[in-house]
Amino acid sequence: MALTPSLLWSAFPGLALQCSNFTPPILPDAQVLSITSHPVYNLTLPLAIPGLPTNLPPLTFCNVTVTLTHGTANDTVFVTVALPPRERWNGRYQATGGGGLAAGYDHSLVVPVLSGFAASFTDGGLTLNHTIDPQSGEWGMNNDGTLNRDLMLNLAWRSIHDMALASKHVIHEFYGKPANYSYWNGCSQGGRQGYAAAAKYPTDFDGILAMAPGLSMEYIGPADFWPVVVMANEGQLVPPCVFDAFQRAIVETCDPLDGAVDELLSDYDLLLSCHFDPQTLVGTKVGCEDTETMITATQARIVGKILDGPRTPEGNKLWYGLAPGATFSGIAGTRSINKALVPVPFVPALGWLKYMVLRDANYDFTKMSYAEYFEAFNTSVTIGASFLGADPLNISAFHSAGGKLLSWVGLADEYIPPSSLLNYHDQIATSLGSYSATHEFYRVFTAPGVGHCQGGNGPQPLNAMTALVDWVEHGRAPETLPAGTNSANGKVISRDLCLYPKKPVYLEGRADEEGSFACEEAPTELEPSVDRCAMIIMM
């Protein structure tokens, strides 16, 4: 979606005059190349934009673009700021993040602006001056085959700070005063960017909403390519219908553990509490389009390896496997072309390995051996740890500055295992001595049945940003997050999401009704650390 003006007039005739004559911001670590602006009147959005509600009203705002570069980096970074008319501004600023290998998206500005926020996003220079889709990963490799460390740094955290400073300058000029409060909003890569902002620039934002954060991308990148390697080396591609049968079986096995059979897996420690053996499905017949197939022992072995996650021949576990109950199609996708199955790798994972790790645009990843994969995995960790790893993200200064960090994660996340976030939270709690001390500024909620950022069968958080604003501005920390969704049979499912480490427990009544579950009491003391990487899947 391009944020371009329509020819329609609006109820804000003074917007054109206000939306002009901006002065370039002064940035300590970057040089501003240009600043342009124009009013946008009654912008009608396309009918379907992923992640956005349908039937949104038209948008009217001042669109400002700041173009900048970083010394010898030879990069061109675009920061776009969307400013609602003064009559509609709520006095707040909201920065938005990206996803996958992208630093930001223009459509992420829509909901904040409609809600009265001044909002911004940045491409971080990763579009190479609007010539590529950053999800391809092409930006990660220089023409001479070396790693583009400047753009890696931009994605890691530098572009976040540039955007915040430039946006606050523009907001001050447009409204004649600074924003009363500044917020971050991002999911996946955008969630990781939120944690990076808290760690590297602890005073940039008063509140950070970081959903399903891609912490430790140096592990996530190669781990999300693991299913493709497994199928190639086990000599068989698994059709979607077979993967779906395994997903249904996992849900049927683990669903009753919370006391209700509702197709939602509520326990974030399912790797420890629910034992599923893929071999039990061997010989089962599955309907696939216009034919029927029988699940093989090889397919069961492949599923077991995907659920277990990448593990070396010596048995060393490198990262988490697919979350129990998550769809396989995200990172283990296959499809039929001319009646032949072909793998459908997760695009950012392929781009990460292709352009950042091996830096070989022509490498045939469908033939990657286990040995080559494990070597690439080690290279990924070496390259990515200092830029995109979780270890450098110390959020203690954000705590000291009075900031609030709110996260939620879908327990059926198909791309980023929820355990990675929960372990990070436990590390913070351990450093502070208790969950209660952590919850003074940092809270994580778990969403049963919800996929990556959205989707799945579970209730989606409804007003997470509202909860964060209430926490920041009024000191009312959320104990639960309201959530809801429409089920496949048309029923409305309502449920409050629990504050980690609490878990939902069924009480009584219909499982899809609000109040049928309660959040169990959290432990008063920190529990002994559990290894959520431990192999629980029976092979």
Residue 277 belongs to a domain: yes
Task: Write the pLDDT tens digit of every residue in 323-347.
Answer: 999 999 999 999 988 888 999 999 9
- Asked if 145 and 268 sit in the same domain, the reply is no
- Asked if 299 and 163 sit in the same domain, the reply is no
Residue 455 belongs to a domain: no
**Secondary structure of residue 88 in the 3-state scheme:** helix
State residue 9's pLDDT score. 39
- Asked if 156 and 225 sit in the same domain, the reply is no
Q: How many domains does the chain have?
A: 2
What does pTM read for this prediction?
Answer: 0.93
**Secondary structure of residue 506 in the 3-state scheme:** strand
Residue 398 belongs to a domain: no
- Asked if 238 and 295 sit in the same domain, the reply is yes
Residue 460 belongs to a domain: no
State residue 525's pLDDT score. 57
Place of tokens 């960017």: 193
Distance of alpha carbon 207 from alpha carbon 217, whole angstroms: 23
pLDDT, tens digit only, all 539 positions of the chain: 344 433 333 467 678 888 998 999 999 999 999 999 999 998 877 655 566 666 678 889 999 999 999 998 999 999 999 999 999 999 999 999 999 999 999 989 999 999 999 999 999 999 999 999 999 999 999 999 999 999 999 999 999 999 999 999 999 999 999 999 999 999 999 999 999 999 999 999 999 999 999 999 999 999 999 999 999 999 999 999 999 999 999 999 999 888 888 888 998 887 777 889 999 999 999 988 778 899 999 999 999 999 999 999 999 999 999 999 999 999 999 998 888 899 999 999 999 999 999 999 998 988 899 999 999 999 999 999 999 998 889 999 999 999 999 999 999 999 999 999 999 999 999 999 999 999 999 999 999 999 999 999 899 999 999 999 999 999 999 999 999 987 666 677 888 999 999 999 888 877 777 777 889 875 555 654 444 444 333 32
Supply the DSSP string of 191-223, one letter for each residue.
Answer: HHHHHHHHHH-TTS-SEEEEES----HHHHHHH
Residue 324 structural domain: 221-387
- Asked if 168 and 230 sit in the same domain, the reply is no
State residue 258's pLDDT score. 83
Active-site amino acid positions: 188, 413, 452
State residue 253's pLDDT score. 94
**How do the residues of the chain divide into helix, strand and coil, expressed in percent and rounded to 5?**
35, 20, 45
- Asked if 249 and 142 sit in the same domain, the reply is no
